[in-house]
């Protein structure tokens, strides 16, 4: 018990130190804290639903304890929601030809966790907490489970959108994109180079479909390795992703510590062990490569990731009288 308490104290101390050093990160790393706030607030539900944080955390942590793959899924769900029409929970809608049906989203998961949280919040505070805020809070809490302390603050006050179209998912960065394409995708959403490198660190957990990896391994029936891929690591990828691979086959994005949210992703990149072409692309630009080197330091990574997550969570949000508060996250309110 004594060792556990000491470990928790060290994590907490490291986190607060990370916040303190955040403003001195490479480049414009502090930009996430300086962006104008689009009507969101900390403790937005303090009066209308005072237990929202404990309810979301309780449901999320219980489910993550039973399924350690959920942090990667919920983080990806939040990312894929915000990059398409902004953070409005449009990815949750089940209508025909919705965002869920688009190729990039077919492997997105975690919806059942959002449903469970929504059910509990509707019992406690009917019609008060948006599904968009649930997605943002659940992503944070899922990632934070291993630390038993929140890794970043989440601004709330988002409202839910009513439009979800598969045709809008072209805004999502491609796993095959080169550096310029990635930077443009992020720039289109108001995010900069620092945000690109920091948010790519989400790939320290989660999985990728083999279809996103095999073009780096094979060409037709022959082996044809991407020169930006370490040959020994490529063999590991090939063992998980044969040619051809089953449509359901996946590979860990972080081959070193796939279930631990840490900075090993950046160490992997320096060894040419990023699973996706879009991961390797970060080493092909001098400024990005320097940030990769800096973020191998876990304290700097946690600080940079936290700031960029808050910045991403502000993308084209609906606040005030815009949008609605969905009673069920999978369907638009009919009345």
94 marked as part of a ligand binding site:
no
> Is residue 212 a known part of a binding site?
no
Question: 227: annotated binding-site residue?
Answer: no
Q: How buried is residue 273: exposed, middle or buried, by Cβ count under 10 Å (0-12/13-18/19+)?
A: buried
Query: What tokens were used for 109?
Result: 């998961």
203 is in an annotated binding site: yes
204 is in an annotated binding site: yes
Query: Does residue 244 have a cis bond before it (omega within 30 degrees)?
Result: yes
DSSP-derived pairing of the beta strands 250-252 and 222-223: unpaired
Angle at 159 between CA 79 and CA 136, to 5 degrees: 35
Residue 223 is assigned to a ligand binding site: no
Question: In which residue are the tokens 């990574």 written?
Answer: 301
For residues 87 and 101, what is the distance between their CA atoms, to the nearest angstrom?
18
Say if residue 319 carries a ligand binding annotation. no
Contacts of 311 (CB under 8 A, 6+ apart): 31, 32, 35, 190, 191, 195
* Cβ proximity of 281 and 196 under 8 Å: no
Residues labelled catalytic: 80
DSSP state string for 162-222 = S---GGGGGGSPPTT--HHHHHHHHHHTT--HHHHHHHHGGGGSSEEEGGGTGGGTEETTE
Using CA atoms, how far apart are residues 130 and 137, in angstroms rounded to an integer? 11
Residue 279 is labelled as binding a ligand = no
Chain centre distance of CA 31? 18
Strands 207-209 and 250-252: antiparallel
Helix/strand/coil for 250: strand
Q: Is 88 annotated as a binding residue?
A: yes
* Those residues with Cβ within 8 angstroms of residue 290's Cβ, 6 or more apart along the chain or in another chain: 26
Which residues does the annotation place in the binding site?
81, 84, 86, 88, 90, 99, 173, 203-204, 254, 257, 262
Which residues does the annotation place in the binding site for substrate?
173
Which residues does the annotation place in the binding site for Ca(2+)?
81, 84, 86, 88, 90, 99, 204, 254, 257, 262
């Amino acid at each position: 018990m004594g060792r556990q308490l000491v470990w928790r104290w060290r994590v907490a101390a490291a986190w607060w130190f990370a916040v303190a050093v955040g403003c001195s990160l490479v480049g414009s790393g502090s930009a996430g804290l300086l962006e104008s706030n689009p009507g969101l607030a900390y403790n937005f539900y303090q009066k209308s639903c005072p237990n929202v944080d404990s309810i979301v955390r309780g449901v999320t942590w219980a489910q993550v304890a039973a399924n350690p793959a959920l942090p990667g899924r919920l983080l990806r769900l939040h990312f894929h929601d915000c990059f398409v029409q902004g953070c409005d929970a449009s990815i949750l809608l089940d209508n025909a030809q919705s965002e869920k049906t688009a190729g990039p989203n077919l492997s997105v998961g975690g919806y059942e966790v959002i449903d469970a949280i929504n059910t509990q919040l509707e019992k406690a505070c009917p019609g008060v907490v948006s599904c968009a805020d649930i997605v943002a809070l659940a992503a944070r809490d899922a990632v934070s489970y291993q630390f038993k302390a929140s890794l970043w603050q989440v601004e709330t006050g988002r409202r839910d959108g009513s439009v979800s179209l598969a045709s809008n998912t072209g805004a999502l960065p491609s796993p095959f994109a080169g550096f310029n394409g990635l930077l443009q995708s992020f720039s289109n959403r108001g995010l900069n180079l620092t945000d690109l490198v920091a948010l790519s660190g989400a790939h320290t957990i989660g999985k990728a479909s083999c279809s996103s990896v095999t073009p780096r391994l094979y060409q037709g029936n022959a082996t044809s390795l991407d020169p930006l891929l370490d040959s020994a690591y490529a063999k590991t990828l090939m063992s998980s992703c044969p040619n051809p691979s089953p449509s359901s086959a996946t590979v860990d994005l972080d081959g070193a510590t796939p279930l631990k949210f840490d900075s090993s992703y950046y160490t992997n990149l320096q060894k040419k062990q990023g699973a996706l072409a879009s991961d390797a692309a970060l080493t092909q630009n001098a400024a990005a490569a320097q940030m990769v080197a800096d973020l191998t330091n876990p304290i700097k990574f946690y600080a940079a990731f936290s700031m960029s997550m808050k910045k991403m969570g502000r993308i084209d949000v609906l606040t005030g009288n815009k949008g609605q508060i969905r009673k069920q996250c999978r369907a638009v309110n009919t009345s």
